[in-house]
Amino acid sequence: MPVLESIGVAALGWVASPLVKMLLDEGFASLGINADKKLEEMERNVLPVLKSVIEKAEDSPHRRKVEGWLQRLKDAYDGAEDALDLLNYDRLKRKAAGAARSSGRDILSPQKIKLKRSLNKLEKIAGEAEKLRTLLGAQPDQTAAVPDRSRETTSLPPPKVFGRDKNREEIIRLLKTEPAAGAPIPIIAIVGRPGVGKTTLAQYVFDQLKGELGDKQHFDPIMWVYASRNFSASEIMKEIILQASTASEPQDLGNLNSLQALQLKISEKINAKKFLLVIDDVWCHENDWDTLFICLSKCCLPGSKILVTSQTDDAPTKIAAANGAAVEYICRLEDLAENDFVDLFIHYALPSGKFDSHLREELKEECKTIAEKLYKDPTAAKMVGDTIAPQLARRLGSQGNLHAYLRKIADKDWSGDRTKALMWGYQHLPAHLQRCLSYCSLYPRGHKFEALELVQLWMAQGFIKPDDPNERVEDAGDGYLNELVSRFYIQHSTSPLLL
């Protein structure tokens, strides 16, 4: 089955989760109905079935039927959530008008009737999971029988790069080599297939040079911009201005509406400075690059350099031509050596802070088998490793369960590109994170969010549900965001968050 065909199941899977039980709980309580028995039955019988149905459907000929059921469940969930919101709004409205009864109870309003019908419909559709489980031959997932109301959290392992030290040192050596007098700004390129680690290597170089202090700092300023297919010279120039500015001089870019105004501001910021500009994910836009390079060339000191990442030689060559030069050096990035790739996977799957060296060595063979099936794709290794790490941590009490779980993962079919690993990781995200990430997918790849802006968008959609009644919704949203960053679905740009 093609990987993309399973996206419907994965994208809808968040609704088949404790969120259903939580909504029923809150909804029945709003109606003044004691539904403890119903909810206890759902928690014990229905929720484990929901999870097993989702997992079994991935490779089943009945996937379409499960997808249709999930869509009906989602529609019922949304309808009940809307009905609950309307009831709460109506109560607040009447209270504000001074019409609420002293007992705090309201009459059987149309909003109450609608909510009750919506909850009954949701409960009925959720109950169909048992029939689907029988159809699929799935066994209930007992780990879901008593769901943990707290969010599952992970700590991102310390940043570590495997197998790229020689590449980094060679690139830094070339960046620090002084060019011939009068030469255009030299361009160095990192080129390779998607997912091979181009951006990681560029960040490795960037961080090393950024960490130089005082007189030892070779470049100042050091800037990072993201180009992509939607390259815009004016947007890149604004980003350069922001990054070349110090914290004590905040910039208002609202009045820089012309290329001439942007060029003047850049000249002011990097005049007589030796800069390093990293341009990530370069594509061919020959007509715009000359505008940027002419501006940069007029004001910088000799020795300034540009480092770009791209999937092909073609793009760096063409933008260098726009600069009136040739690419000084192309680092053609190959796949990681097998040992380095296995070490990368183990770093995320068995973080040293949670697993002692003896246990890591004992589980190494199973991890190696999984790593060999991921086609040396670092992104897939990080996502799969980070997904199974908390599962392994929960099984620490039983050595047999650890080995059995890893063998189960090793037996999966990871053939194809990284999409299968990405979707598998998505399916194993907690439900609240699936909803937030699905919302982000409405925006194009490479879209930039301010962290606060993204959290507020989630809040407006009602996606954020603090576990602790004393926790601020904004703080819970920050936790959601940090989780998605730690799981590599959202990545940090130099200032905002880059999706």
Domain boundaries, the chain: 1-147, 165-332, 342-410, 431-499
Kind of pairing, strands 187-191 and 329-332? parallel
Mean pLDDT of 211-216: 73
Name the residue among 291, 282, 304 with its Cα closest to residue 186: 304
Instruction: Please say whether the beta carbons of 274 and 304 come within 8 A.
Output: yes
Q: What is the DSSP letter of 354?
A: T
Instruction: Please say whether the beta carbons of 104 and 129 come within 8 A.
Output: no
Tally of CA atoms within 13 A in the half-sphere of 319 that contains its CB: 28
Decide which of 90 and 256 is more confident.
Answer: 90
Decide which of 464 and 414 is more confident.
Answer: 464
**5 pLDDT higher than 50:** no
Query: What H or E segment, with its residue span, contains residue 305?
Result: strand 305-310
Mean pLDDT of 100-122: 69
Instruction: Please say whether the beta carbons of 335 and 376 come within 8 A.
Output: yes
Find the DSSP H helices in 300-428.
314-322, 338-349, 357-372, 378-394, 399-410, 419-427
User: Could you give the dihedral angle defined by the CA atoms of residues 106, 112, 116 and 117, in that order, rounded to the nearest 10 degrees?
Assistant: 160
285-308 residue pLDDT tens: 555 677 777 788 777 788 889 999
When mean pLDDT is compared across 6-15, 180-189, 236-245, 286-295, the lowest value belongs to: 6-15
Mean pLDDT of 429-445: 78
CA-to-CA distance for 73 and 134, rounded, in angstroms?
Answer: 18
Mean pLDDT of 210-224: 82
**Identity of the amino acid at 15:** V
CA-to-CA distance for 279 and 262, rounded, in angstroms?
Answer: 18
Name the residue among 444, 380, 379 with its Cα closest to residue 412: 380
CA-to-CA distance for 137 and 27, rounded, in angstroms?
Answer: 32
CA separation, residue 224 to residues 176, 240, 341 (Å): 17, 8, 27
Decide which of 209 and 447 is more confident.
Answer: 209
Decide which of 9 and 415 is more confident.
Answer: 415
33-82 residue pLDDT tens: 766 666 666 666 666 666 667 666 666 777 778 778 778 877 887 887 78
Name the residue among 494, 485, 451 with its Cα closest to residue 210: 494
**Identity of the amino acid at 440:** C
Q: What is the DSSP letter of 143?
A: G
Query: What top-level class would CATH report for the domain 165-332?
Result: alpha beta
Please state the pTM of the whole predicted model. 0.62
338-372 residue pLDDT tens: 899 989 988 888 887 777 778 788 888 888 888 88
Q: How confident is the model at residue 252 (pLDDT cuts 50, 70, 90)?
A: low
> 308: helix, coil or strand?
strand
**403 pLDDT higher than 60:** yes
Angle at 73 between CA 131 and CA 487, to 5 degrees: 105
Instruction: Please say whether the beta carbons of 413 and 403 come within 8 A.
Output: no
Beta bridge partners of 187: 306
Write down the pLDDT at residue 150: 36
